[in-house]
A = this chain, B = another copy of it.
Amino acid sequence: MTLALTAAAFALATAWAQTTAGPAPAKPMTMTDVLAAASASDWRTLDPENTLYLELDGGRRVVIELAPAFAPQHAANIRTLAREGYYDGLAIVRSQENYVVQWGDPNGDDEAKAKAPKRGKRALAPEFVRDAKGLAFTRIPDIDGYAPEVGFAHGFHAARDPKRGEAWLAHCYASVGAGRGMTVDSGSGAELYVVIGNAPRHLDRNITLVGRVVQGMEHLSTLPRGTGPLGFYEKPEQNVPIRSIRLAAEVAAAERVKLEILRTDTETFTKLVETRRNRRDDWFKVPAGHVELCNVPIPVRVPPNP
């Protein structure tokens, strides 16, 4: 017999085809129950102004949601770079096991050959943290070693330090950030990385996160690992070409991906977190009584037909 590891798997980035609520589910609920009972208002649509399509060869599309509430200057710069076609023809140059995939200008080290943005910038002031004031933050009660408080804000995994009055995005699987050099103001979004391994939370507050991949992670996580230091590809022919990065707002409506994201500031989401904290599926024998921030999935679905 082929044994399923778990009856209710970690369903990150799964499209939920069904939303019709069935009969009232018996308590305790599983994640499937919670999603089945969710109402239309529990879901939000992606804002085309905050959505990027990273297009690779073979029709592979990666959908990224930007987080302007945390990195407004970087988000604006990335929009500008996408609109002017800066990323088109660049490449994925790094794939490091259990860490990150990164892309940018393969000729970036050679000032003579480097691609110069027209209006976009190649260096920006850091946006490692933001003022916690004015930020709607849905805290989860679970302890965390990297931050006094963790939870969700604007639909992203986030952390908060009330004493310092700061909030920031947390480095989770699928988080997208702006690569930088040794100085804090050397990033801009012209180079971007995506987390493909265990949550590297030590990077929090040390580099600017700009958003997260909401669909297509498998196109990045399965790329061959680079054999150079830090997982950089050693030969130019190993680089993975980027056809384009487009802002969804610049793409014809018919070519946009129709996706909805589960809101993180609702009673439904609170229930979902509880189903991850204490698994009630029959397969589980010992509920954990805890959920690590990055182990909370933010479900994505193809919206049902109107």
On A, residues with C-beta under 8 Å from B are: 1-7, 9-10, 12-13, 93-94, 96-100, 102, 104-106, 108-109, 114, 128, 142-146, 172-174, 177, 179-182, 184, 186-187, 191, 193, 197-207, 217-218, 221-225, 229-232, 276, 279, 282-286, 288, 290-292, 294-295
Copies in the complex: 2
User: Which residues of chain B come closer than 8 Å to A198, judged between CB atoms?
Assistant: 172-173, 197-199, 292, 294-295
Asked if A5 and B179 sit within 8 Å, CB to CB, the answer is yes
Asked if B222 and A4 sit within 8 Å, CB to CB, the answer is no
Chain B residue at smallest Cβ distance from A107: B2
Main secondary structure of the interface of A (DSSP, over half): loop
User: Which residues of chain B come closer than 8 Å to A291, judged between CB atoms?
Assistant: 145, 202
Chain B residue at smallest Cβ distance from A203: B6
Q: A98-B221, A182-B283 are in contact. Are A288 and B6 (CB under 8 A)?
A: no
Q: A93-B2, A222-B224, A292-B145 are in contact. Are A7 and B182 (CB under 8 A)?
A: yes
User: Which residues of chain B come closer than 8 Å to A285, judged between CB atoms?
Assistant: 128, 184, 205-206
Asked if A2 and B191 sit within 8 Å, CB to CB, the answer is yes
Asked if A108 and B191 sit within 8 Å, CB to CB, the answer is no
User: Which residues of chain B come closer than 8 Å to A181, judged between CB atoms?
Assistant: 1, 3-4
Asked if A201 and B6 sit within 8 Å, CB to CB, the answer is no
CA distance A13 to B225 in the complex (A): 13
CA distance A286 to B159 in the complex (A): 15
CA distance A163 to B56 in the complex (A): 53
